[in-house]
Amino acid sequence: MYPDIIAIGIPFMIACVVIEFLYDMRRKKKNYRINAAISNISCGIFEQVTGFISKGLFALLYIYLYNTHRLYTIEDSLLVFIGLMLLVDLVFYGFHRLSHVCSVLWAGHVVHHEVEEFNLTVALRRSVMQEFTIISVYLPFAVLGFSPAAFFLMFAAHNLYQFLIHTSYLPEFRTFGLIFNTPYHHEIHHARNRCYVDKNFAGVLIIWDKMFGTFAKRTETPEIGIGQETTTLNPVTAQITTLARVFAEAKSKPSLRGKLVALFGPPSYLSKKSGAAADHAGTGREKFDPLISKASLQKAIMWFAFMLITITVYRNYETSLPLGVQLFALAMVGGLLFYIGLILDNKVRAAEQADAASGTEV
């Protein structure tokens, strides 16, 4: 019934990223690293190519519950859209806040946080796991009787708004920022300064943080990143690295209580030995920035550009393709993204050198 505003917004988002990148180069702010930007956008590509599973499951469950278990039938109207957006945003606030205090949920959400710059490509750095876990908190909207068309329109609009708040090049918007979330507020959320940890969880409306005591004003320059040190720029392994550490931590606990706390307790519970989440501290450390040759970077850029063009074309025909073709495309895209990640982490060259040292031809 309603247009796919995410698809409509893709050219706009690409244009914004290009403009911000060029502005950053002109001002010499150095808020962009090519390898990190490729990693961020590649995470978004991986999330998109797995979307036929997560989004398909989401739509299937939502429509089923709406058709068979809804309590009311809420007709679409302007007031309903406004109320729905408020509810979607409030639920997002709650889920987002929970994702910072529950280790399993943090293992998915950390993908979005572990970069150490704040720019529009960070908004595209999406977690595949979180796309599945967030489904459960929105299914009650179907039972309440909000139509699938209205809900998914507001859900998409909510996601699109959050793209706009991942930049440090817009003004403070003081009056607007009294009610709405702004880049000025959200940059604090991405900072690892102790005074900013677990603050400003809002999606669209900053009033939730003000109401529930998680709002922070800017008192010092934000240092972007988290206490958990970044260990990879690989968009595929980044999706599972922290989750593997969480499960390893749970496995190491002898008691059932210990295992449950490791899985569902706050990330700060995880030992430093496990490397997972820690206490979000660690300001002043150097960025994870593997040194790779110019030729390797050019190779990564070439494959990334090829992937970007391919996935853009593929997304236009994805829904009409058989499931087997979509699964094959997922495997191919995942494999190529993993290879690009190996280049960015300088692991391809390391493997070549090891083979050369052992006398193996590459």
pLDDT tens readout for residues 143-195: 999 999 999 999 999 999 999 999 999 999 999 999 999 999 999 999 999 99
Task: Please report which residue ranges of the chain form alpha helices under DSSP H.
Answer: 5-27, 34-49, 51-69, 78-99, 103-113, 120-123, 128-133, 135-138, 140-144, 148-164, 183-189, 207-212, 241-252, 256-264, 294-317, 323-344, 347-357
Angle of CA points 335, 336, 341, to nearest 5°: 95
DSSP 114-165: --SS-SHHHHT---HHHHHHTHHHHTHHHHHTB-HHHHHHHHHHHHHHHHHT
Q: Say which DSSP state 180 is in.
A: B
Asked whether residue 232 carries a pLDDT value surpassing 50, the answer given is yes
The residue extents of the domains of the chain are 5-212, 294-357
CA atoms within 13 A on the CB side of 355: 9
User: What phi-psi label fits residue 115: left (phi over 0), alpha (psi between -120 and 50 degrees) or beta?
Assistant: beta
pTM for this structure?
0.88
The pLDDT confidence band at residue 276, using thresholds 50, 70 and 90, is very low
Token pair belonging to 107:
């293992």
C-alpha dist (Å) from residue 227 to 193, 223, 224, 305, 337 = 9, 11, 10, 32, 26
Q: Report CA dihedral (313, 317, 319, 323) to the nearest 10 degrees.
A: -90
pLDDT tens readout for residues 305-335: 998 888 878 877 777 888 898 899 899 999 9
pLDDT of residue 360: 39
